[in-house]
A and B are shown apart, each in its own frame.
Chain A
Amino acid sequence: MWHKIMVIADWFGEMRERYNLIRQFNQSAKQTFIKGEAPTLLEAKITKGDSAFRHEFSKFRGGGFRIKALSGSALKNSEMMEIGKIIIDNEELTRKLIALGWDTLEVHAEGGKKGLKWALKKHAKFGGYLN
């Protein structure tokens, strides 16, 4: 009984962490855009992700972490690639994304039709981190 309550409490804790991460990203992106330091306003949101990239901790229909250009200048392919690489290169962030149930990193240009995606499990380096 207590175990089940703990599991439910963990689930709610994870959901709060997921939305906190999204909110922090969006707030920082907004501040940078308002200050004029960024030419494009970026927005992070949760999507269903790619089922081929699923792993043990993947959230059902919530495995996609999408960064999308909301306004400002449209993102070029090279810029989308660079944003993806910055996220992937940040080991702590990648591990956190995986631990919170994300499996796909998506970077989309304005409009959301054109984009790139990465399988987070390929870039986790989880084994090295854990051992």
Chain B
Amino acid sequence: MSLFSEPDTFEVINDTVASEGSLWKYVSIVQFGVIAYLAYKVYRKKPEIKFKNVNRETVKEAASKELDMENVINSINKAKPLFKELSKKCHPDKFANSDKHESALKIYQKITTNKRNYSKLLDLKVLAEEELDIKISD
């Protein structure tokens, strides 16, 4: 009976040694992973940082500036059709042989510069109606 029990004991010991070996294998894999991650963090290309010379107070001022958010939303929804209308009605070619050509040219340049700003386009619409004597529909 005892002769048969000995090999069993050896097998058990061998299993323990094998499981310890596999545990260390996993630990080394994890260690390798951690080292690879840290190496990636150290050697990866860092993002370009701009604004290094920017004054802190100026940033705070820019951050606390009040904005007309209604104008931003109106620009998203209404600026494009108004720009099309204004650029069509105030095109300098329409005033080619008249004394209004110069002011039409100036207004048209301003319209093109502020094509995505609804409130400025509204101001330019009033200016165009006054100076060029035209009627622009809403």
Contacts and interface: CB of A to CB of B under 8 A. Distances in A.
Interface of A: 10, 14, 17, 21, 24-25, 27-29, 31-32, 37-38, 42, 51-57, 82-83, 85-87, 89-90, 92-93, 95-96, 98-100, 121, 124, 126, 129-130
Given A55-B47, A83-B76, A98-B51, 13 more contacts: A14-B63, A24-B67, A37-B74, A38-B77, A53-B47, A54-B47, A55-B50, A56-B54, A57-B59, A82-B116, A95-B62, A96-B67, A126-B51
B138 to A, nearest CB: 12
Q: Which of A25, A54, A99 has the most CB of B within 10 A?
A: A99
Nearest to A83: B76
20 contacts: A14-B63, A17-B63, A25-B69, A29-B73, A37-B78, A38-B73, A52-B47, A56-B50, A56-B54, A57-B51, A87-B72, A89-B116, A89-B117, A95-B65, A96-B63, A96-B65, A98-B51, A121-B48, A121-B51, A126-B51
B58 A130 contact: yes
Contact of B72 (A25, A38, A57): A25
Contacts of B78: 37
B52 interface: yes
B70 interface: yes
Contacts of A99: 59-60, 62-63
A51 B70 CA distance: 30
Interface of B: 47-52, 54-55, 58-60, 62-65, 67, 69-70, 72-80, 116-117
B75 to A, nearest CB: 5
A87 to B, nearest CB: 7
B72 A93 contact: yes
A104 to B, nearest CB: 12
A53 B47 CA distance: 7
Contacts, number: 92
Contact of A121 (B50, B72, B74, B77): B50
Contacts of A55: 47-51
Contact of B76 (A38, A56, A96, A121): A38
A32 B74 contact: yes
Contacts of A57: 51, 59
A86 B72 contact: yes
Given A32-B74, A85-B116, A56 B51 contact: yes
Contacts of B69: 21, 24-25, 27-28
Contacts of A29: 73
